[in-house]
Amino acid sequence: ATPLALIRGGGKAANRGILMRSGDAFQVSPDIDHVVLDKTGTITVGAPAVSEAVALEGGTRGGIESEMLATAASAEAFSEHPLADAVLEYADERGIDYDDPEGFDSMTGRGVRATVDGDDVLVGKPEWLDGEGIDISGAADEVQRLQRRGLTVSGVTRDGDLVGLLGIGDGIKGDAAATVRRMTDAGITPVMITGDNQRTAAAVAEEVGIDRVMADVLPDEKREEIGRLQDGGHRVAMVGDGINDAPALTQADIGIAIGAGTDIAIESADIVLMGDRLGGVMDAHEIGTESYRKTR
Ligand code: ADP
Ligand code: MG
């Protein structure tokens, strides 16, 4: 039988929009010493928007912005990634005309590859473009400038030439910094994990007070990173919202799905937070820990 203290704890949690789905949500709670937080949609609001578009010609400023945006929007038209929505919205707001691409491939955790007017177009991480043999060195300063502002940079290439950069920003949740402080006050180490690059990730982490950052992590590597912390003797909670986070949520000692989440993320989680508030993570931790202690 479930001890009364846990039933009461579950009720208290439910009143705050927290669903305790498993016994681990209580039992493991007192032992958690690391909380791994996905960046996009967990620490940030998850509604990215383009804040700067730079058209390039031969690596430096000077290309035609409307052409670059039309190229990027066509390539992203079939992508379901939030970053793609940001590009389409920006192009739409500016009345840019773009067609559906003739070919499309989603490169998970990297970007998109598409055929636009017969040309090979890539939109995605600069590191990925570099690995595809595209010379992005001429724009390195621009890329770094945008990343230091905490923006995610997508490079736009057409037939092997870099024709533009898109600096995409995503606001930080209002209660993120306060929640990080609650974690460190409770002796828990917060860690940010993201597929985004190190510079952008570090800028966001600094703003909320997180010292440990795992950046450039591909979706299937997030689970391994959690496993590595556990191998080091740590008890780890993972907070995420996306479909890509399900394996990591399962691997963690406590998996926490935040926001609307996806059905898959919710299925993989021990705790589901109904709202977008990051503070729910620490509310759940406190309720779980306190309720479990009362059973002992
Ligand atoms: P996160 O870990 O922040 O949820 P993802 O693993 O989904 O991010 O993607 C990692 C990185 O790959 C993004 O930060 C972005 O640079 C790039 N990327 C992924 N999908 C796209 C896309 N459709 N358009 C542009 N860039 C993309
Ligand atoms: Mg994601």
State which ligand 1 atom lies nearest to the alpha carbon of 84: 23
Do 137 and 234 share a structural domain?
Answer: no
Start-end of H helices in 154-296: 176-185, 198-208, 221-231, 246-251, 263-267, 280-294
Domain of 160, CATH number, reads: 3.40.1110.10
Is 162 in the same domain as 231? no
User: Which of 169, 198, 233 delimits the end of a domain?
Assistant: 169
Query: 111 and 183: one domain?
Result: no
Same domain flag for 66 and 145:
yes
* ipTM of the complex as predicted: 0.95
Structural domains of the chain, count: 2
Computed over its alpha carbons, how large is the radius of gyration of the chain? 21
Q: Which of 146, 169, 192 is the last residue of a domain?
A: 169
Beta carbons of 143 and 136 less than 8 angstroms apart: yes
Question: What protein residues have CB closer than 5 angstroms to ion ligand 2?
Answer: 242, 244
Which atom of ligand 1 is nearest to 123's Cα? 25
Ligand nearest to the CA of 259: 2
Query: Do residue 229 and residue 243 come from a single domain?
Result: yes
Instruction: Please give the biggest Cα pair distance in the chain.
Output: 70
CA of 4 to the centre of ligand 1 (A): 44
C-beta 242 within 6 A of ligand 1: yes
- Look-up: residue for tokens 């992508």? 79
CA separation, residue 140 to residues 35, 58, 144, 153, 198 (Å): 33, 13, 6, 11, 15
Q: Chunk the chain into consecutive blocks of 10 residues (it has 296) and report each block's average pLDDT, rounded to whole numbers.
A: 88 95 94 97 94 90 92 97 96 97 95 98 97 95 95 97 97 97 98 96 97 94 97 97 86 92 84 94 96 88
Q: Which two tokens stand for residue 21?
A: 């789905």
pTM exceeds cut of 0.95:
no
- Which of 115, 139, 169 corresponds to the end of one domain? 169
pLDDT at 291: 94
Q: Which domain holds residue 154?
A: 49-169
pLDDT score at 259? 84
Q: Report pLDDT for 1.
A: 66
**CATH number of domain containing 259:** 3.40.50.1000
The protein residue with its alpha carbon nearest to ligand 1, atom 4, reads 40
Cβ-based neighbour number of residue 220 at 10 Å: 12
Specify the pLDDT at position 263.
Answer: 81
Residue whose C-alpha is closest to residue 123's, from 90, 153, 103: 153
